[in-house]
Amino acid sequence: MIEIILYTALLYLIQLTLQSWLRRSAGDISERANKAVHNFRESLPIFLALAILSVYLNIEANTQLAAYWLIVRIAFAVIYISGISLKPASEGSTYEPQPLRGLAWAISIFILIKMGLNLL
């Protein structure tokens, strides 16, 4: 679990670096990178709390779930930043749906819930 926590920290640093690097280039990709980092910041504290409690309480089942969570979050970042499956915004709206991104997000939330339930 400690390795997964460290890899998660590395993912965060990579996303921050990528965001800074892409900020220099104008366009949608810079905005998507910024939003991807912001989204990661929202789920990171919950993941870290669950992971640290799992280490403390020796909940081995959460180690595999944490690895899956990290893989899904990597996929989420790639999908979000690259714009894979991006659909054009409706007329009069700035929201551009991205179904694969939504699916990856939902899976990551499900994994966090499962990790929490394993602590009970």
Please report whether residue 50 resides in a domain. yes
Please report whether residue 103 resides in a domain. yes
pLDDT of amino acid 26:
65
pLDDT at 70 over 90: yes
Domain span at 54: 2-84+96-118
| Total-model pTM | 0.91
Number of domains in the chain: 1
Please report whether residue 100 resides in a domain. yes
- Per-residue pLDDT tens for 89-120? 677 777 778 899 999 999 999 999 999 999 99
pLDDT of amino acid 62:
98
Task: From 66, 94, 80, select the one nearest 18 (Cα to Cα).
Answer: 80
- Residue 100 sits in a domain of what CATH number? 1.20.120.550
Please report whether residue 90 resides in a domain. no
Please report whether residue 37 resides in a domain. yes
pLDDT at 68 over 90: yes
Higher pLDDT, 51 or 86: 51
